[in-house]
Structure 1
Amino acid sequence: MASRLQVADSRPEDWVYVSEGGATIVFSYRGTENPHFKGRVLRLRKVHLLDSSAVHSGEEEPDDPMIAFHRDVISYLVPQAFLPDLDVILLNESWLDALERLRDGDRPLERRQKDKIDKLRKKGVLATDLVGGEGIVAVEIKPKWGFLPREHHLSQETVSNKTSTCRFCMHTYLRSQEGSFPTDYCPMDLYSHNETRIVKAIHSLWDAWVRSDGSLNNFKIFVSGKVVKPSHVRAPLSTTREPLIVTNSFKETVTETLTALLLDTEVLGIISSLQRTLDELDIEGLAKLYSMTASDNAKSGLASVVADPTLEDWRDFVACYQTSYRTWDHANPDPKHIQYYLMSYLLSATFKDCSIILRIGQCDQSLPSARSVSIIDLDLKPMNKLGGWEELDRMIVERYKTAGHQKRCAP
């Protein structure tokens, strides 16, 4: 069965590096010998270099939690048409070691200096390849936060900023002060369903992509499954085997195609709605509610929340979210619901950090290609992130207030 494929049924040299995030690394199948792998990507967990000597227990390793989370939680919130198929694949340490030796040099240097493939894992994830295919052009966008919080739970110190300037734009200011590449991108424009504002958002993402030579993680272009960087493209576009040239005409072609796709899909509306309805309290309100229910650890705030929900807990929450949760008085939250509010915020964070893949066509315009929009990177966030998010939120607003101006992000 495809769900129990062995990675050793393929050759390491048949897989090419695609991209990676903080926790996983992705390879795309380029072989021809095994049809079960055609059109699929291999998603592997990573381990920090300092933890590379860790030994997993001899017990039966569970399936990657991503698969169960998608099946029992995400699939009830997002139509399957917008999600990749996920299956379990059985791993092999010597095979993973060979893959790492072959492809580690394709990874960004800053990634290689921090982590590597967790070769002791026995199970990985096989998913739909959304960026591959000969001559296929695909764009990955990380939209980020698509809403402004309500005033109910905000302090006097933060309410003016948070209800006027979106979280991403405030965070961008903080990052620019710390040396990151500046960007004019505002997620509220992308989510607006307004053609003029969507074009503005895409142009801002494109310009930041060029200025940073593709190092920012919220906009990527793939051709035939490979990441394209502005500095790597030289030859003009004439056939599917020649690289793209970064010109204004290509920029406008991509912008026009992306805009049409985004106006025609409900994906961004789904993401924004889930972000907003799952984060009714803001991190400030969540911290206040938790302090009302915690005892000895209350003084450490959300940093004291460490116990992760079980899969059964998540099933119960989704059932509640789809029914009674929507009728609760979120302006006056009941402390007895604190566990569900904590879980709700975690799930909102998943949708705030997800990406969308837009397959926008063939390099060779004479060939037919199916355009599509899909959501990826819907990973479960752990409870022990909450304390850091609370502190980061405080820092972002405090630093933004020192800017001396207040940007207005239209909803």
Structure 2
Amino acid sequence: MELTLTEQDAAHWVYRGEGAANIVVSYTGSSPSFIGKVMRIRKSPRKASTLPGVRNTIALSSHERLIWQEVHKLISSSDKEIAGQLYVDHVMKPLLGSKYVDAGTHILVTKEFLKTVEKNVDSQRPAWRVDVSQVDKQCDFALLMSDHSIFPHDGQGSSHSISVEIKPKCGFLPLSTFISEGTAIKKKITRFEMHQALKLQRGEISQRSVYNPLDLFSESKERVHKAIKNLFTTPQNNFRVFLNGSLTLGGLGGGAESTDACMAKVLEDELHSVIQAGDGQCTENLFTLVTEAVQKSGVLNQLLEVQKLDRFDVEGAIHAYYNIIFQQCKVCKELNKEQAKAYTSLHSASLEESLRIIKDYLIAATAKDCSLMICFRPRKENDSGSSYNTVYLESTKQAFDYKVHFIDLDLKRLNKVEEYYELDKKIVSCYKQMNKIDDGRNEDAKLQGPEVTNQQGSEAANLQGPKVANLQGSEVTNLQGPKVPNLQGPEVAY
């Protein structure tokens, strides 16, 4: 952290986007030290619970230091932001592969730099983000990283690039024996699909996504292609497209509405500068490129292995959590003696075993919530000296360099485990409740259809059929919730 950014440097950093904890800005100046870089600047709540000028610098709690005791640099860090960077560097990078993970470096910044950046970017931030958070001007450093939405200027390949950011989510169905009978549906329906029901009920989304994470992780070219196309159809906060580092499709400060014909046309037109396909074919070719890169790189196989470190599910991990914090298990307290027997083995486990369960659970939670950035650029003809991997687009006879990086590999805190457990219960309960409602509607439709046809003939059926379909289809969809931004948006692409 030798370099220090001052007030005079602020004008060269422009808003790229933000998530719950950080604002991301990208560099537009001419300094070789920062070209092709982005910076994560920590945020703080506007209604701080601590006194002005005082912030919590405790990186890890005493229980967390037990969990991560083998990562010496992490447990000795003095600030939670530094701890986060060390976690990526020493925990996630070895698991996911050093070539796919950029932990970044910290750089010193002055309070004046932060004040000026905040002044410059506030007009571009979503209003609801501005209302609840601000730049943390008590923090004297920021995290500097490569901009993974573009290629570095190495003189090779095209100057144009396309990048796609995907938030894969959990790619498997849990099999843990600690999943109760009441939540056994988790073994059949993906967490992503069930969570959509809760988000819809809360008004965080206006319609459910058609994306299925199991398709993306399937290793079937057809299913992977389908997953990419479905993400494009309903991006929410799970899919973004950048052209030369500028957002073309998706949301910056949170979620995005479903892709309509106008959005699709804009993307199609933008892609013409990179993909040499006919009108209406560029977007489809982009799906093919992403599918090929996902399969050729094998990164999702590695990600899935890390996600599967969660062998006990949160319904098992919660018991290990109470072992670690040396408190009576609140979950078992609500069960009868017969039900509590199912978790006896967890509560009789050693402290070391409980620590391992929670450590693996938290690592898996990071892997389930991270994003994947895949960047492409057309390879120049007769260029055989590129250091990047290549995919070939048969339909346009174009070769593309591509690079893949995992981003948003945030350290999940121990004190969140109880929240994760409660959220899990809400997700399952809401899905089951809404599914019963849907089943009821389906039964009504079955009863109404044949009766109308038998009693009044085909003409009456034709008159009433579309009306019933409209009430149960698009009209119901429009009534299911306001179109508001997703308040749980992730860190944006960088």
**Normalising to structure 2: TM-score of the pair?**
0.67
Match of 2:481 in 1: none
Indicate which of 285, 295, 299 corresponds to 2:316. Answer: 285
Deviation by residue 1:34-59 (Cα, 9 ceiling, x = unmatched): 21111111111111111297324699
Paired residue type of 2:168? P
Q: Does residue 257 in structure 1 map to residue 281 in structure 2?
A: no
Identity of aligned residues (%): 29
Matching residue of 2:155: none
Judged with a 3 Å threshold, the aligned counterparts in structure 2 of structure 1 residues 248 and 284 are, in CA distance, closer, same or farther, namely farther
- Secondary structure of the residue aligned to 1:148 is coil
With over 3 angstroms needed to count, the CA separation of the structure-2 counterparts of 1:265 and 1:296, relative to structure 1, is closer
Partner of 2:20: 22
Change over 3 Å in CA distance of 1:362–1:91 after alignment to 2 = farther
- State the Cα distance separating 1:389 from its structure 2 match: 0.8
Where do 1:12-411 residues align within 5 Å? 12-32=10-30, 34-51=31-48, 54-56=52-54, 62=79, 64-132=82-150, 135-159=160-184, 161-179=185-203, 180=205, 181-209=207-235, 216-229=236-249, 233=266, 236-237=269-270, 248-276=280-308, 278-290=309-321, 296-299=327-330, 335-336=349-350, 337-361=353-377, 370-402=401-433, 403-404=435-436
Q: Structure 1, residues 111-162: CA drift from partner, whole Å, max 9, x if none?
A: 2222121121111111111014663211111000111111411111122x11
Contact 1:137 1:362 in 2 (8 A): no
Q: Name the CA shift for 1:219/1:54 in 2 (closer, same or farther; >3 Å).
A: farther
Amino acid at match of 2:415: N
Are the structure 2 counterparts of residues 398 and 363 from structure 1 closer, same or farther at C-alpha, using a change threshold of 3 Å?
Answer: farther
Task: Report if the CA contact (8 A) 1:293-1:335 is conserved.
Answer: no
Task: Find the aligned partners of 2:120 and 2:213 in 1 and give their Cα distance.
Answer: 38
Q: Distance in 2 between matches of 1:296 and 1:140?
A: 41
Q: Distance in 2 between matches of 1:281 and 1:272?
A: 15
Offset, 1:173: 2.1
- Aligned-pair CA distance for 1:395: 1.2
Partner secondary structure for residue 77 of structure 1: helix
Whether the 8 Å CA contact 1:5–1:88 is kept in 2: the answer is no
Report the Cα distance in structure 2 between the residues aligned to 1:366 and 1:125, rounded to whole angstroms: 40
Amino acid in structure 1 at the alignment position of 2:37: R
SS in 2 for 1:64: helix
Q: Distance between the aligned counterparts of 1:118 and 1:361, measured in 2?
A: 36
Q: What root-mean-square deviation, in Å, do the aligned CA atoms of Structure 1 and Structure 2 show? A: 3.4
User: For each residue in 1:223-262, what CA deviation from the matched residue of structure 2 results, as whole angstroms up to 9, or x when unmatched?
Assistant: 222222466748934875x9xxxx8523202101111111
Change (3 A) 1:217 1:234: closer
Tell me the equivalent position of 1:315.
Answer: none
> 1:39-83 deviations in whole A, cap 9, x for unaligned?
111111111111297324699974622221122212221211101
From the CA coordinates, give the structure whose radius of gyration is larger: 2
Which amino acid in the other structure matches residue 175 of structure 1?
A: K
Distance 1:78 1:235 in 2: 33
| CA 171–225 in structure 1, closer or farther in 2 if over 3 Å, else same | same
Secondary structure (helix, strand or coil) at the match of 1:158 reads: helix
1:137–1:359 CA contact under 8 A, matched in 2: yes
Counterparts of 1:381 and 1:238, CA distance in 2: 37
Give structure 1 stretches of 5+ with no counterpart.
210-215, 303-329, 407-411
